[in-house]
A and B are shown apart, each in its own frame.
Chain A
Amino acid sequence: MAVGTQYLAEQQPKLSTTSLVLGAIAIAALIAAPFFFYPVFLMSILCFALFACAFNLLIGYVGLLSFGHAAFFGGAAYYTAHAVKVWGLEPLTGILFGAAGAAAMGLIIGFIAIRRQGIYFAMITLALSQMFAFICLQVPFTHGEDGIQGVPRGHLLGIIDLNQPLSMYYVTLAIFLFGVFAVWRIVNSPFGNILKAIRENERRAVSLGYRVDRYKLGAFVMSAALAGLAGGTKAIVFQFATLTDVQWQMSGEVILMTLLGGIGTMIGPIVGAGLVIALQNYLASSQFPVTVLIGIIFVICVLLFRRGIVGEILELMKRKPKGNV
């Protein structure tokens, strides 16, 4: 039974003391970070990290590869930007409005795509998000190629001035932490247990009476809403929303971030987003073409460490003699 007890400790998603301490250190580091790094750079990482976490909720815990998540991220950025700039909404309300818009889109796109599996699911999400990108190019409120520029950051709840970089940073950090906690809670909940069961053996879940399409759609909408939360926040941070965020390259980028960090791990997507954004930032001033390097990293990742950076580390840590009883 010694083996069993040891396994129990690994399997149960209770927070161990070690992970609590590590989490506390990470949060402390994030709080101190703007004194050492450029806040806009950090906020960019936080937005993309949350986006990647939202994407990971779907691929890592339901096993659905969406190739159209840019529609939720970029769509929410447009909604938030429009609501804040044109309607004069308070920034947090604007961000929540963006997330709600993304959730509504998730409901529609998910409803159509969820009926198919594997590559077909990916293709349908890609097609629908491309359709959305085209709509964004055509409709007047997005201002086509220009995008929505000059979005005011305003005052959070009418009190905190978000034009102060530090205030903006801590608000972004709070939203990020909320989003990551939401993903963690969803994954480690009664609902999450069913999601895992569906990922493991869908037919068996059906034979136990679960209407699996509803669970998948639920997860899809939650993932879209959280991606929207990230997109809306980004629109406030950078004060604009453009076509870049709704195009398929963005969907590809979030896949890369998640894959690089580790699909199905809690912090993998955060690490992956950090690396990709840092690389892009670092190489932006050099002559080296970023896309080539990103492509090379992608190939190396697929060939050598498929579990991603965090995934491989976790695997090394828990490697133990295997055998059936």
Chain B
Amino acid sequence: MVSTQPILSATGLTMEFRGFVAVKDVTLSVNEGTIHALIGPNGAGKTTVFNLLTKFLTPTRGQISFRGNDITGLKPAEVARLGLVRSFQISAVFPHLTVLDNVRVALQRPKNLATQFWLPFSSLSVLDDRALELIDAVNLSAYAHLTASELSYGRKRALEIATTLALDPAMLLLDEPMAGMGHEDIGRIADLIRRVAKNRTVLMVEHNLNVVADLCDRVTVLARGEILSDGSYATVSADPRVREAYMGTEHE
């Protein structure tokens, strides 16, 4: 399953904000079919790297390629269309739409049912089977007709993943998928990620190191915008520089 072919690679990524260097010369490659974690202390630039990879930010320098194509100059929507789809740190659902509609929004574009302003709303029901299947996959079937804002935090995250999976992306970027979750929810989402990663690549930012140790094939450690260490969890956790970077912060 685990291949050594990189699906996403970034070379010399640098992001400067008015003189402040948030990300400095980051070179990263994610192999196809793996679950890859990006960890680091607060303020290390993990989310900035995510924003750069998905083109929500344009790097000051550096180059990004996805499945062999240079995507450095593309817009975020184009990157998503190529199959590199992200989630957000704060849960990204459409709060006043129903759970079903949230997933249907994602299905509408690939099924070419997004621009028809003359068709009745009921024409979207052709998407229902697939949408309910995805909702079922994240155990939300019982809530399909509730508005998303009524869901608990953990279920909102699950909904977000169902929505992302609706695009059937080759690669998922999950920004702290378990942030703010209870123990039970963490286990559920970890199972879900493991399941969806069977035929996809996942890059995730995560603070919970137990989850990272358990779930991820490879770990990249970022500190102060630079890559500190890269390798298996065992390798990086033994790295003295990593221990130093985490010293005095929230972990150990």
A194-234 with Cβ < 8 A to chain B: 194, 196-197, 200-201, 203-212, 215, 218, 222
B114-155 with Cβ < 8 A to chain A: 114-124, 142-147, 150-152, 155
Closest CB of chain A to B88's CB: distance in Å?
A: 7
Residue in B86, B115, B146 whose CB lies within 8 Å of A191: B115
Residue in A5, A13, A14, A185 whose CB lies within 8 Å of B118: A185
Residues of A within 8 A of B101 (CB): 11, 193
Q: Does A189 contact B (CB under 8 A)?
A: yes
Given A207-B80, A209-B77, A191 contacting B143 (CB threshold 8 A): no
Residue in B81, B87, B122, B150 whose CB lies within 8 Å of A209: B81
Q: Does B76 contact A (CB under 8 A)?
A: yes
Residues of B within 8 A of A323 (CB): 150
> How far apart sit A192 and B121, CA to CA, in the bound complex (Å)?
8
B145 touches A5 (CB 8 A): yes
Interface size class of chain B, counting residues whose CB lies under 8 Å from the partner chain: 35 or more
> How far apart sit A188 and B123, CA to CA, in the bound complex (Å)?
10
Closest CB of chain B to A218's CB: distance in Å?
A: 7
Contacts across chains A and B counted by CB atoms under 8 Å? 133
A190 touches B113 (CB 8 A): yes
Residue in A190, A191, A192, A204 whose CB lies within 8 Å of B88: A204
Q: Does B97 contact A (CB under 8 A)?
A: yes
B152 touches A185 (CB 8 A): no
> How far apart sit A197 and B163, CA to CA, in the bound complex (Å)?
12
Closest CB of chain A to B39's CB: distance in Å?
A: 22
Nearest B residue to A188, CB-CB: B121
Q: Which residues of B contact A (CB under 8 A)?
A: 54, 56, 75-78, 80-81, 85-88, 92-98, 101, 104-106, 108-109, 113-124, 142-147, 150-152, 155, 163-164, 167
Q: Which 4 A-B pairs have the closest CB atoms?
A: A209-B80, A191-B117, A200-B94, A204-B92
Q: Which residues of A contact B (CB under 8 A)?
A: 1, 3-5, 7-8, 11-14, 185-186, 188-194, 196-197, 200-201, 203-212, 215, 218, 222, 322-325
